[in-house]
Structure 1
Amino acid sequence: MRKIPTLFLRDFNARPALVTAKPNPECQWALDGEGTATRKWDGTCTRLDEAGAWWARREVKPGKNIPAGFQASEHDEVTGKLVGWEPMAQSAFAKFHAEAVANSPALAAGTYELLGPKINGDPDRFDAHVLMPHGWAPLSERLDIEGAPRDHEGLRDWLVKREYEGLVFHHPDGRMAKIKRRDFPA
């Protein structure tokens, strides 16, 4: 798991660090119209591995203890954080995740967003905890997202009119890029 880069460069002098209109060179392909956009859900990332074990995404800040069983995937040079996976059983989300597994259909190995009443304030207003496969959204939303603009001002204006947390762009070669509604200055 690699932290997904943001479409535009951030102004780290601003609080919070919002995006500028300058494209992130690493994500130029998405701004050029390559790849497919999908809905970004506002939950917490989980993963079911090939052996059937569940993992929770975890960021460890510099100077903090690394949890037992933690599998580091990336070191963020800007923030100093380690990004990786911890066993779901020791995650603060374990109870809600167990409810989500019980509420979700057959699950294949892959990544999922844990959503529901006790996750991030439940902005999508789910009645119960569920696991949403990454890249999935209802057909009406997928059709809406197909028409999303691919420029700074267009994306800002488009996202402000919707309740989506944001978009994730998927390139056929596996690269990804993201943008969140709250990334833009008000």
Structure 2
Amino acid sequence: MKKIPTVFARDPDDRKRVLPEANPVCQWVLDGEGTPTRKYDGTCVMLDEHGVWWARREVRPGRTRPPGYLPVMTDEVTGKTVGWEPIGQSAYAKYHAEALTTAPEPRRPGTYELIGPKINGNPEGVAGHELVPHAEAERLDVPRDLVGLRSWLLAHPRYEGIVWHHPDGRRAKLKHRDFA
């Protein structure tokens, strides 16, 4: 798991907003490459190749990492370390367990979005806790320019955003709140 870069450059004076210029590492999106999918609003969990579940966890600089934490990368701008903690010690353990009772079998190794009534205020509006495989996210037909993407996202307020998947494994994202 690596932090997914934003398609457009961030405003250095207000990191919550994007500028009308491409992030150079994401130019491929504006060039028409990659498949756009829905970004669900929940929390990321992962099933590893050994059948062990993990929860995504950010640790701020100077804070103690939880037991069993597997760091993946540290953001150079914020200093936050992103990684995985065992799901059983996560604040979401109870909701993940509930989602497992309704998730279809077999579950494949990979990342999932845990959504539901007790996750981020349930912006997805689902009745119970669910696991959405990122590999099976809803595919979208969206524009490839700043004005078009802004209009599309603002017209779809229930979508947290868009994630593009390049065939070579690169990803890029754009969130609804980038234009708030």
TM-score, normalised with respect to structure 2 = 0.96
User: What residue number does 1:10 align with?
Assistant: 10
Which AA in structure 2 matches 1:176? R
Give deviations 1:113-157, integer Å, cap 9, x for gaps: 00000001111110000000004345xxx3xx22x0011111000
User: What residue number does 1:131 align with?
Assistant: 131
SS at match of 2:16: coil
Give yes or no for the alignment of 1:176 onto 2:171: yes
Runs of 4+ in 1 over 4 A off after TM superposition: none
Give yes or no for the alignment of 1:95 onto 2:94: yes
Deviation at 1:159?
A: 0.8
SS at match of 1:34: coil
1:30-179 correspondence to structure 2 within 5 Å: 30-106=29-105, 107-137=107-137, 142=139, 145-146=140-141, 148-162=142-156, 163-179=158-174
Deviation at 1:82?
A: 0.5
Structure 2: where are the runs of 5+ without partners? none
Contact residue 9 and residue 24 of structure 1 kept, 8 A: yes
Give deviations 1:93-129, integer Å, cap 9, x for gaps: 0000000111110111110000000001111110000
Give deviations 1:150-172, integer Å, cap 9, x for gaps: 11111000111112111000000
Which AA in structure 2 matches 1:171? H
Q: Distance in 1 between matches of 2:65 and 2:121?
A: 26
Q: RMSD in angstroms over aligned alpha carbons?
A: 1.1
TM-score, normalised with respect to structure 1 = 0.93
Structure 1: where are the runs of 5+ without partners? none
Deviation at 1:12?
A: 3.5
